[in-house]
């Protein structure tokens, strides 16, 4: 089992709720997809290609001032439980978490972490650069990422086409290779049943939404990831600017929806958020989905100042630590489903009791 | 209504753009729209990757005038074919973008509404490895010249700009 305390900030500094609008926008993630020139892409690459790619990246990373204080995980060396743990922290993709290597042999997949920056090697593309920031911070996040991109690009030959831009294994990522996403909590729009309209509108303006874990994941706890759909034909700044404008608009709609709820149904809302809090505080068995939904209710209560003295940071932490691999890591014996629910409820109770005691 | 670009054919694509809060409308015929790399959002939504991949190869059989347009052609660098792409949804290597250029330009337009990269230009890493495909080196040189040209125009050094433009013409 890896010691996650060794990761700077546990790779979780983005959850500290210090960023702008962090009550509604939990985090901002930006990633760039890059491939090295002279190597086949992942689907046609062999073990030797993957080894050489990792070798080249490794040398550049070791020399980089950006890697200071950072660390590296070789996916081949990680236990399945540890891979899942990193995935639950959004540090590696689902693909890497279940990587066996294409065409047999070692995957030579790796993840490098340093502060808010992350670099996945030998994923769907040779390189996936990513950065996480707390709250709504597209500009700051991209500025960090651009430094890493420039540094890697200066030392490694990257596959680039004059017309099509950066070349990626899947044409949906070609051009800038940039996918920016914000993790946003929209209970007001869900409760006022306005959410379908908002989500429909997104596709008309070239954006898309996903669940908590990105592509192919379901929406739980009213958490949505909004991101750009297209990556080609617009500059990085235009893509970020466009996403930023729409997110700001969605946040405004969400705030309006919350005000409507408070105005038209104050008792119902107050009852709903306190019931959610009470269940989390005293329940003896919680499924992941139930915990997510209750956390959503409590988060709404904190946002509306109905539940005082509970920090957004604590809520963010609960979001991460109540996931299956994190519970398993707390408790060395791999819990069965039943035991896991009990362990989840126990963990949530302890955290909320501590917070209540601190608040006096 | 006639196309605003050529003024000859009927406008079939009506594009409403909002740039810096001002609305502009553009009426184009299909040819001009395609030349400008414009796709309507409706057509973007109608042709997701899956549908396009399923139709790949079925429509391209006939003429096959250009290399790479016929489904059987394999990429010289990685050996990947359009059939492979159709099955996996992933391209084999950077060279595939050149080998299947016509198909990919079409696909990229449908996916993104444009096939022309408008973002950061990659400036080459110092030592390019011997294995890099030749086409890549050429395109990199073009990229460097374009950047020099841009800088020359910015600095109002038009003499140098003209020289660079001529060099670019030869390369392209």
Contacts of A153 in chain B (CB under 8 A): 122-123, 125
pLDDT at A48 over 80: yes
Q: What kind and span of H or E run contains A258?
A: helix A236-264
Contacts of B84 in chain A (CB under 8 A): 43
pLDDT at B63 over 50: no
Using pLDDT thresholds of 50, 70 and 90, give the confidence band for residue B152.
Answer: confident
Minimal C-alpha gap between A104 and chain B (Å): 17
Cβ distance A232 to B108 less than 8 Å, yes or no, reads yes
- Which of B77, B116, B118, B127 is the best residue to mutate to test the A interface, defined by the most A CB atoms within 10 Å of its own CB? B118
Give the C-alpha separation, A152 to A35, whole Å.
11
Locate A128 and state its tokens.
Answer: 């996936």
Residues of chain A above pLDDT 90, percent? 67
Length of chain A: 360
Summarised one tens digit per residue, pLDDT across range A288-317 is: 999 999 999 999 999 999 998 899 989 988
Summarised one tens digit per residue, pLDDT across range A121-164 is: 999 999 999 999 999 999 999 999 999 999 999 999 999 999 99
Q: Which residues are paired to A131 by β-bridges?
A: A30, A117
- Which of B47, B53, B83, B120 is the best residue to mutate to test the A interface, defined by the most A CB atoms within 10 Å of its own CB? B120
pLDDT at A251 over 90: yes
Q: Bigger pLDDT: A179 or B68?
A: A179
Summarised one tens digit per residue, pLDDT across range A262-289 is: 999 999 999 999 999 999 999 999 999 9
Here the ipTM equals 0.87
The reply to whether A233 touches chain B by the CB within 8 Å rule is yes
Minimal C-alpha gap between B159 and chain A (Å): 25
Give the C-alpha separation, A292 to A73, whole Å.
29
DSSP A166-227: E--SSGGGTBT-EEEEEEEE-HHHHHTT-HHHHHHHHHHTTEEEEBTTBTTPPP-TTEEEEE
Nearest CA in chain B to A239: B119
Nearest CA in chain A to B124: A157
């Amino acid at each position: 089992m890896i010691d996650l305390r060794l990761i700077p900030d546990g790779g979780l500094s983005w959850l500290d709720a210090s960023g702008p609008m962090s009550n509604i926008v939990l985090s901002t993630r930006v990633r760039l997809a890059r491939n090295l020139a002279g190597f086949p892409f992942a689907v046609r690459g062999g073990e030797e290609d993957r080894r050489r790619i990792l070798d080249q990246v490794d040398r550049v990373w070791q020399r980089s001032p950006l890697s200071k204080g950072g660390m590296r995980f070789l996916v081949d060396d990680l236990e399945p439980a540890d891979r899942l743990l990193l995935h639950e922290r959004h540090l590696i993709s689902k693909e890497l978490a279940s990587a066996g290597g294409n065409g047999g042999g070692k995957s030579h997949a790796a993840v490098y972490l340093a502060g808010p920056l992350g670099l996945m090697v030998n994923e769907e593309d040779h390189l996936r650069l990513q950065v996480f920031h707390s709250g709504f911070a597209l500009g700051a996040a991209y500025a960090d990422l651009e430094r890493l991109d420039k540094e890697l690009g200066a030392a490694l030959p990257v596959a680039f086409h004059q017309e099509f831009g950066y070349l990626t294994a899947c044409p949906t990522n070609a051009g800038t290779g940039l996918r920016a996403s914000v993790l946003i909590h929209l209970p007001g729009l869900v409760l006022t049943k306005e959410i379908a309209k908002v989500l429909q509108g997104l596709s008309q303006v070239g954006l898309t939404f996903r669940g908590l874990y990105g592509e192919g994941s379901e929406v739980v706890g009213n958490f949505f990831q909004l991101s750009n759909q297209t990556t080609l034909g617009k500059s990085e700044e235009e893509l970020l600017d466009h996403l930023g404008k729409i997110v700001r608009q969605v946040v405004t709609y969400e705030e309006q929806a919350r005000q409507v709820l408070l105005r038209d149904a104050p008792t119902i809302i107050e009852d709903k958020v306190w019931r959610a809090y009470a269940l989390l505080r005293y329940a003896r068995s919680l499924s992941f989905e139930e915990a997510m939904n209750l956390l959503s209710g409590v988060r709404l209560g904190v946002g509306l100042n109905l539940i005082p003295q509970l920090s957004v940071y604590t809520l963010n932490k609960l979001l991460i630590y109540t996931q299956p691999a994190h519970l398993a890591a707390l408790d060395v014996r791999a819990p069965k489903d039943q035991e896991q629910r009990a362990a989840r409820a126990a963990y949530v109770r302890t955290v909320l009791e501590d917070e209540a005691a601190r608040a006096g | 209504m006639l196309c605003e670009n050529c003024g000859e054919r009927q406008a079939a694509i009506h594009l409403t753009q909002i740039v810096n809060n001002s609305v502009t409308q553009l009426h184009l015929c299909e040819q001009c729209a395609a030349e400008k790399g414009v796709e309507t959002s409706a057509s973007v939504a109608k042709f997701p990757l899956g549908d396009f991949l399923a139709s790949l190869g079925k429509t391209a059989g006939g003429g096959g005038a250009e290399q790479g347009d016929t489904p059987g052609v394999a990429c010289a660098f990685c050996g990947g074919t359009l059939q492979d792409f159709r099955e996996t949804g992933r391209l084999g290597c950077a060279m595939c973008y050149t080998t299947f250029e016509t198909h990919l330009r079409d696909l990229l337009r449908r996916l993104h509404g444009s096939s022309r990269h408008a973002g950061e230009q990659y400036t080459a890493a110092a030592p390019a490895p011997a294995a890099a495909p030749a086409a890549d080196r050429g395109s990199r040189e073009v990229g460097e010249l374009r950047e020099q040209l841009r800088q020359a125009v910015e600095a109002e050094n038009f003499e140098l700009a003209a020289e660079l433009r001529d060099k670019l013409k030869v390369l392209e």
